[in-house]
Amino acid sequence: MMVSLPFAAGLLLFCMGLLTAAARRSFLVVLMGAAVAVLGAVLAMIAAALRHGSAVALASALVFLVLATAMVVAATATALATYRRRGTENLDELTELSG
Amino acid sequence: MVPFLVAALVLALLGGATVVVSESPIRAAGGLVTCCVGVSAAAAALSAPLMPGIVLWLGAGGIGLLLLAAVLLLNLSQEERGRRRVGVRGTLAGGVALAFAIVLLRAARSATALPSGITGSDVSAALGQSVAPALGVAVVALASAVVVTIALIRRRT
- Tens of pLDDT along chain A (99 residues) come to 555 788 889 989 999 999 888 888 888 999 999 999 999 999 999 998 888 888 888 888 888 999 999 999 989 988 888 888 888 888 877 777 766
Rounded CA separation A69/A73 (Å): 6
Whether A43 has its CB under 8 Å from any CB of chain B: the answer is yes
Q: Could you give the CA distance from residue A74 to residue B120 in angstroms, rounded to a whole number? A: 30
Structure letter (DSSP) for residue B55: I
pLDDT of residue B156 exceeding 90 = no
Query: Do A6 and B10 form a contact (C-beta atoms < 8 A)?
Result: no
Is the sign of the CA dihedral B122, B125, B130, B131 positive or negative? Answer: positive
Label residues B30-41 b or e (16+ Cβ within 10 Å = b): bbbbbbbbbbbb
Does any CB of chain A come closer than 8 Å to the CB of residue B133? no
When pLDDT is averaged across residues B121-136 and rounded to a whole number, the result is 78
Q: Does A44 touch chain B (CB under 8 A)?
A: no
Model pLDDT, residue B105: 65
Residues of chain B contacting residue A16, judged by C-beta atoms under 8 Å apart: 13, 16-17, 19-20, 97
CA distance B129 to B119: 15
Cβ of B90 within 8 Å of Cβ of A19? The answer is yes
B58–A69 CB contact, under 8 Å? yes
Task: Give, in order, the Cα–Cα distances in Å from A10 to each of A14, B9, B47, B87, B113.
Answer: 6, 9, 16, 25, 18
pLDDT tens figures, B58-117: 988 889 898 888 888 887 755 554 445 556 666 766 677 677 667 666 665 655 545 557
Q: Work out the minimum CA distance from A97 to partner chain B, whole angstroms.
A: 19
B32 and chain A in contact, CB less than 8 A: yes
| ipTM for this prediction | 0.89
Partners of A26 in the beta sheet?
A: A90
What distance in Å separates the CA atoms of residue A17 and residue B101, rounded to the nearest whole number? 13
Alpha-carbon gap: A79 to the closest alpha carbon of chain B (Å): 9
